[in-house]
Amino acid sequence: MSSGAPQKSSPMASGTEETPGFLDTLLQDFPALLNPEDPLPWKAPGTVLSQEEVEGELAELAMGFLGSRKAPPPLAAALAHEAVSQLLQTDLSEFRKLPREEEEEEEDDDEEEKAPVTLLDAQSLARSFFNRLWEVAGQWQKQVPLAARASQRQWLVSIHAIRNTRRKMEDRHVSLPSFNQLFGLFDPVNRAYFAVFDGHGGVDAARYAAVHVHTNAARQPELPTDPAGALREAFRRTDQMFLRKAKRERLQSGTTGVCALIAGATLHVAWLGDSQVILVQQGQVVKLMEPHRPERQDEKARIEALGGFVSHMDCWRVNGTLAVSRAIGDVFQKPYVSGEADAASRALTGSEDYLLLACDGFFDVIPHQEVVGLVQSHLTRQQGSGLRVAEELVAAARERGSHDNITVMVVFLRDPQELLEGGNQGEGDPQAEGRRQDLPSSLPEPETQAPPRS
């Protein structure tokens, strides 16, 4: 899983044959439990964590640590799940951290915060969690469970992200082919999760969403029966959690986001704001969503009904500030900037080429219909290798004048070599155009060009 610093393109493979050797090396490098005075092998996730944040934050710690050591993805996810599950079954009261006086006063003044929030010391919790992970690795060195050794579909995912000319990098992304293993889901439906989050006003909200949206989705009881609904609820829940954190820590950032959950033979997407995902099928762009922008008539009406306004200042903005009408966070712009996501689902037939998820730093300057040609020309030059296609797409956006952070993720649903050999099937073909299906069907076509947004 990747959800922290930007990374280059990488194939995702199962690597089950590497499992025993990885555990041996890990336990050689860390031959004993950590003592209180020993340095942590990872950075603690802040100063305090609320109880509801523990699962996501600890799973992120483990996946980042194990991934940096080149653990096979299914093993890393299964190890993280087992260690987190065991720790959550213990009494966490020993990690409780009493709030400062000013925090208590703020809670008293906040009428919306009915239930008291239990805060835990993140440093002590991270140390205890590492020791739990070490114990699980020692147990599995003797006998690795089937779940950690199970083969999974090999995904080719090309990712590239750059700060560009902005002062800070506020994008984050997630690539999680081992979704089931990370959350202990043992039903016959294979699941893989991919997401891009585009932060503004700081990176806190984007980082938070990259850790907690998929964790909250996995918690939803309706995930097996209504994955799209589970994703919508995950966005709403993550927004609520981050708003509580923002009030505690005086954070003002926000983030748009888009995610794709492939569950068996069905694609589910959910989004907030103007980060987007498109599907390419037989050389044709399939529109899956309509981004949330203040100038959309329904969004403008919703904002005005709440007492806000939409005005044009270099681009359309909510209350003269934000250029998006829905986002996680933005505590001072709620409820005008909504935390309610939209979602859609689509059956996959096996004829799909790839998904492309990206932030507005890409889509503001690259029209949907030009993506296919850019990808195809890259595959032609690289003789069918798609590993670095995201890098080329980012470069194209920069050459077109994008000054924003740019993140692009291409999830191949077929072998790129097959796409190269088949060419752009359907391009200019009336029959292929007739096969094209937009979802939802009532959405208008996107404009070919949009003004840059901040």
pLDDT tens column, 412-423: 999 999 998 875
pLDDT tens column, 65-115: 999 999 999 999 999 999 999 999 999 999 998 765 445 555 544 544 556
What mean pLDDT, rounded, does the chain reach? 88
Tokens standing for residue 269: 């997407």
pLDDT at position 252, please? 95
Asked which of 35-44, 171-180, 223-232, 350-359 is least confident by mean pLDDT, the reply is 35-44
Which conformational region is residue 361 in: left (phi greater than 0), alpha (psi within -120 to 50 degrees), or beta? alpha
Asked which of 42-56, 108-122, 207-221, 376-390 is least confident by mean pLDDT, the reply is 108-122
Q: Amino acid identity of 228? A: A
Show the domains of the chain with their CATH numbers. Answer: 19-99+116-148 (no CATH), 152-421 (3.60.40.10)
Tokens standing for residue 64: 């980042």
pLDDT at position 451, please? 36
- What predicted TM-score, i.e. pTM, was given to this entire model? 0.88
pLDDT tens column, 292-345: 999 999 999 999 999 999 999 889 999 999 999 999 999 999 999 999 999 999
pLDDT at position 281, please? 97
pLDDT at position 423, please? 59
Distance CA 162, CA 393 (A): 11
Sign of CA dihedral 436, 440, 441, 446: negative
Q: Kindly report the CA angle at 279 between 454 and 230, in degrees rounded to 5? A: 80
pLDDT tens column, 105-144: 555 445 445 566 789 999 999 999 999 999 999 999 988 8
Q: Do 144 and 378 form a contact (C-beta atoms < 8 A)?
A: no
pLDDT tens column, 49-60: 999 999 999 999
pLDDT at position 177, please? 96
